[in-house]
């Protein structure tokens, strides 16, 4: 006599439910715990490296902030006077925009010079060309900027 489908499903469910759990070989848990201990040490080292990197970034940020604060505080009277004069704020905005534009032009010139130098020195490996061009163009631009700034003062 055939059973109905639902009853057979229930019998299958009961049979699967009654399956015993099997045990892995002896020492399985000990092996895993030994590997966990090794992993834990590796994770600790990775944590230390991350913490060191975080602290370096934090220290560098603090140094930059400190430098900015000192720069502003030493020139506070001049800055305050500049802002208090009529049209001072708009003049400051214009000055900042002009500085940003100048910086953009300098960067574009540096990139262009680096590309020209790289193309000219075809016999050298690529990273030497680019590295040398970047260093030379940065030094040249820095020297030129310092000279023009000194001339203005």
Is 21 among the residues that bind other proteins (CB under 8 A)? yes
* Measured distance between the N- and C-terminal CA atoms of the chain, rounded to whole angstroms: 109
Q: Which residue lies nearer to other proteins by CB, 30 or 151?
A: 30
Is 26 among the residues that bind other proteins (CB under 8 A)? no
Min dist CB 147 to other proteins, Å, is 55
Min dist CB 6 to other proteins, Å, is 10
Min dist CB 29 to other proteins, Å, is 5
Cβ-based burial of 15 (10 A; exposed 0-12, middle 13-18, buried ≥19): exposed
DSSP output for 101-115: HHHHHHHHHHHHHHH
Min dist CB 35 to other proteins, Å, is 6
Q: For the stretch 43-81, what's the b/e string if a residue is b when 16 or more beta carbons lie within 10 angstroms of its beta carbon?
A: eeeeeeeeeeeeeeeeeeeeeeeeeeeeeeeeeeeeeee
Is 152 among the residues that bind other proteins (CB under 8 A)? no
Tell me which residues in 34-93 interact with other proteins (CB under 8 A): 35-37, 39-40, 43
Is 9 among the residues that bind other proteins (CB under 8 A)? yes
Min dist CB 51 to other proteins, Å, is 15
Q: Which helix (H) or strand (E) holds 25?
A: none
What distance in Å separates the CA atoms of residue 139 and residue 113, rounded to the nearest whole number?
A: 12
Is 31 among the residues that bind other proteins (CB under 8 A)? yes
- Site residues for other proteins per CB under 8 A: 1-5, 7-9, 11-13, 15-25, 28-29, 31-33, 35-37, 39-40, 43
């Amino acid at each position: 006599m055939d059973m109905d489908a639902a009853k057979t499903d229930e019998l299958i469910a009961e049979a699967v439910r009654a399956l015993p759990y099997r045990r892995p070989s002896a020492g399985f848990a000990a092996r895993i715990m030994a590997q966990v201990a090794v992993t834990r040490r590796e994770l600790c080292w990775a944590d230390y490296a991350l913490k060191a990197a975080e602290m370096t970034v934090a220290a560098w940020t603090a140094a930059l902030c400190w430098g900015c604060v000192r720069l502003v505080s030493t020139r506070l009277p001049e800055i305050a006077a500049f802002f208090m004069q009529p049209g001072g704020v708009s003049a400051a905005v214009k000055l900042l925009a002009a500085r940003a534009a100048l910086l953009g032009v300098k960067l574009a010139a540096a990139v262009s010079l680096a590309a020209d130098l790289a193309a000219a020195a075809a016999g050298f490996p690529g990273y030497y060309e680019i590295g040398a061009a970047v260093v030379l163009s940065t030094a040249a631009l820095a020297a030129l900027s310092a000279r023009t700034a000194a001339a203005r003062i």
